[in-house]
Amino acid sequence: MSASPRPAVLISGASRGIGAATARQFAAAGYDLLLLARSGSELEALADALRPLGSRVETRCLDLSDSGAIAPALEELLQRGLCPSVVINNAGAAYTGPLAEMPLESWQWLLQLNLTSVFQLCQAVLPQLRQRGGGLIINVSSHAARNAFPEWGAYCVSKAALASFSRCLAEEERSHGIRVSTLTLGAVNTPLWDSATVHSSFDRRAMLSTERVAETLLSLAQQPSSQLVEDVTLMPAAGVL
């Protein structure tokens, strides 16, 4: 008898931080990988490190802030022969500053990355998920979706909208066997904190590690298709940072 085909996972923001840790976890668990990221060099370095584990790895360099590039990039990637059973929308960004002073272009950039690109990516993969009879979409969110933090207003709005999007998509796609989960995170020690758009003095040593987040994503993916974990909240033991 021929071996069963390996499952495949599609991960956005895969070149570093949570995305890279998640790619490593899923490769070790026997998944093939479709990886998206803005940094082509980092993405290819990760792919080269993962292929010896036995995974087939397909990559696509894509800037999710470019709304017009998303659909054609996903179409090209999905035509390479791997059909994901799990889709992890991990890519995102943050911005700190008063709402009253935030430039419109910065607002639109953040909403495109944290919300609209997820909508676009889901639209691109839903036909394949429906055709294969179902699958799991995991949207990575933040406890900022449920709280108001001064100077993090735009980020809070984007994540609150993402949580609502996840719930609505779950209801619409349930009849197609497609499940939608949200992973709600407290502060995670990732390169996000080094971004030019983020100014913070949080103690990064007290934050969640990317490896623990990746383990949680793999656990969600390994749930039986007969059940759905709608939302998992993972916070640092130190509390809100």
The per-residue pLDDT for range 42-96, each reduced to its tens digit, is: 999 999 999 999 999 999 999 999 999 999 999 999 999 999 999 999 999 999 9
Q: What is the mean pLDDT of residues 137-147?
A: 96
- Locate 117 and state its tokens: 């690109």
pLDDT over 60 at 2, yes or no: no
Would you state the pLDDT for residue 240? Answer: 62
The residues that are catalytic are: 155
Mean pLDDT of 23-43: 96
Residue 133's contacts (CB-CB under 8 Å, 6 or more residues apart) are 177
Q: Is the dihedral of CA 127, 5, 226, 183 positive or negative?
A: negative
CB atoms within 10 A of CB 236: 20
Residue 4 pLDDT greater than 50, yes or no: yes
pLDDT band at residue 205 under the 50/70/90 scheme = confident
pLDDT of residue 241 exceeding 70, the answer is no
- Looking at residue 71, what is its pLDDT? 97
Average the pLDDT over 104-116 and give the result: 98
Domains and CATH numbers, the chain: 8-234 (3.40.50.720)
Integer Cα distance of 52 and 218 in angstroms: 20
pTM for the whole structure: 0.93
Pick the range with the lowest mean pLDDT from 43-57, 79-93, 127-141, 177-191: 177-191
pLDDT of residue 188: 86
Q: How far is CA 50 from CA 11, 27, 44, 88, 170, in A?
A: 14, 7, 10, 18, 31
| Mean pLDDT of the residues in the chain | 93
Query: Residue 1's pLDDT is what?
Result: 39
Vertex 221 angle, CA 169 and 232, to 5°: 65
Weakest-pLDDT range from 3-17, 59-73, 152-166, 211-225: 3-17
| 141-158: average pLDDT | 94
Average pLDDT (16-27) is 97
